[in-house]
């Protein structure tokens, strides 16, 4: 099972892997949910079985989450193949990870391996498209949009229309129960605007001018996070149970979501020091969040009165506190020393300024810095 946000290369990756395998393969997409049903899965499966009668074969079903009852159908067909000892291998792809994960855990427990494909890193965008750090900060880690980066206006329209709107309307609103779609959309806009800031749910409600409640907002943030858009980091409390009602730190999962809606050109974004500082901090947070979503580590923030640590990573029992020197003005003072006083076994890490260069930090896997 391969899950991840839209436009990060899931389909391309699988097609390349299938070509290298040199196995007979059947590739089908359920990208038109109104024309697909569980019977469609059975049809594709049966056609692939014919290829696997005398040798191993592959079946790839893309956008499988669009089909109602997909996990039950897959379970039935997979169990039939297991009993019959067929050599058919199946790859499922989905761009709505929350719906995908629910189907897996409810019907396919013990029958799958999950591979999470995140947004691309600076290292990957540099190798594939020649991005330097400034281009990465502005255009983010969407490989599908990278060829448009020489036309920033066209690129921004693509991000807004083909990524943001499609993700919200098809991967969130169409597949999950959302009683207040307008509230969810405004929450997404605010999360992009305030990325890197700790904002109470009550303050968010005031900004949204809606009669919702904090439970609704927390749920909508979960939906947006599962779609690979924005998330709300929770406060680090050591071994204590974290309270869901604590103020989240808003974090975009790709800086392109900020810049595409900002109306700023790449040159204007770079010259605007506070704005660029927000991009730097958001890029570091997105880099860490990708690792957290893949299960490589756990990610939090920490704050005590006016002392703050931007990010806290917990990795195999080790805790690393990360302060980002981005040039963005803060209301609170750096809190690495205060954090180490409370958690003396933690490891401090400074990114930017006199610490590790931001480009170096973004070029290495998050777990490299957490060991």
pLDDT band at 98 (very low <50, low <70, confident <90, very high): low
For the segment 256-272, the average pLDDT, to the nearest whole number, is 97
Task: Give the residue, 163 or 242, on which the prediction is more confident.
Answer: 163
Provide the token pair at 265. Answer: 């050109």
pLDDT band at 44 (very low <50, low <70, confident <90, very high): very high
Contact of 278 with 285, CB cutoff 8 Å: no
Provide the token pair at 74. Answer: 């897959």
Q: State residue 356's pLDDT score.
A: 96
The model's pLDDT over 171-209, given as tens digits with 9 standing for 90+, comes to: 888 878 898 999 999 999 999 999 999 998 888 888 877
Q: State residue 211's pLDDT score.
A: 63
Contact of 278 with 249, CB cutoff 8 Å: no
Q: Examine the pLDDT at 240 and tell me if it is beyond 80.
A: no
Domains of the chain: 2-116 (3.40.50.300), 122-370 (no CATH)
pTM of the model: 0.87
The model's pLDDT over 3-22, given as tens digits with 9 standing for 90+, comes to: 888 889 898 999 999 999 99
Q: State residue 158's pLDDT score.
A: 97
Q: Examine the pLDDT at 102 and tell me if it is beyond 70.
A: no
Residues in the chain, overall count: 371
Provide the token pair at 85. Answer: 């000892």
Q: State residue 330's pLDDT score.
A: 60
């Amino acid at each position: 099972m391969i899950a991840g946000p839209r436009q990060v290369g899931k389909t391309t990756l699988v097609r390349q892997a299938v070509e290298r395998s040199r196995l007979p393969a059947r590739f089908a997409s359920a990208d038109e949910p109104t024309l697909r049903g569980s019977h469609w899965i059975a049809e594709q499966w049966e056609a692939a079985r014919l290829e696997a009668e005398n040798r191993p074969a592959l079946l790839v079903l893309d956008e499988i989450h669009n089909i109602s009852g997909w996990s039950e159908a897959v379970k039935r067909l997979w169990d039939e193949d297991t009993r019959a000892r067929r050599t058919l291998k199946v790859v499922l792809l989905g761009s709505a990870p929350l719906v995908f994960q629910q189907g897996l855990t409810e019907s396919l427990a013990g029958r799958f391996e999950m591979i999470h494909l995140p947004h691309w890193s600076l290292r990957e965008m540099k190798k594939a498209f020649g991005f330097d750090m400034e281009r990465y900060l502005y255009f983010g880690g969407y490989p599908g949009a990278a060829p448009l980066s020489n036309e920033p206006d066209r690129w921004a329209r693509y991000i807004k229309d083909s990524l943001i709107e499609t993700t919200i309307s098809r991967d969130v609103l169409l597949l999950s129960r959302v009683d207040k779609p307008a509230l969810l959309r405004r929450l997404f806009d605010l999360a992009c605007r305030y990325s890197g800031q700790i904002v109470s749910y009550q303050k968010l409600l005031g900004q949204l001018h809606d009669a919702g409640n904090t439970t609704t907002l927390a749920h909508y943030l979960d939906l947006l996070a599962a779609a690979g858009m924005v998330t709300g980091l929770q406060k680090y409390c050591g071994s204590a149970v974290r309270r869901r009602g604590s103020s989240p730190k808003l974090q975009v999962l790709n800086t392109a979501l900020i810049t595409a809606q900002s109306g700023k050109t790449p040159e204007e974004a770079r010259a605007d020091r506070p704005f660029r500082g927000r991009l730097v901090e958001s890029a570091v947070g997105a880099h860490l969040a990708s690792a957290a979503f893949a299960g490589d580590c756990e990610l939090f923030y920490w704050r005590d009165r006016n002392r703050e640590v931007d990010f806290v990573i917990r990795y195999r029992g080790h805790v690393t506190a990360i302060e980002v020197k981005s040039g963005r003005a803060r209301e609170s003072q750096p809190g690495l020393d205060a954090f180490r006083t409370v958690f003396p076994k933690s490891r401090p890490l400074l990114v930017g300024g006199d610490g590790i260069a931001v480009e170096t930090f973004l070029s290495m896997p998050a777990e490299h810095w957490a060991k």
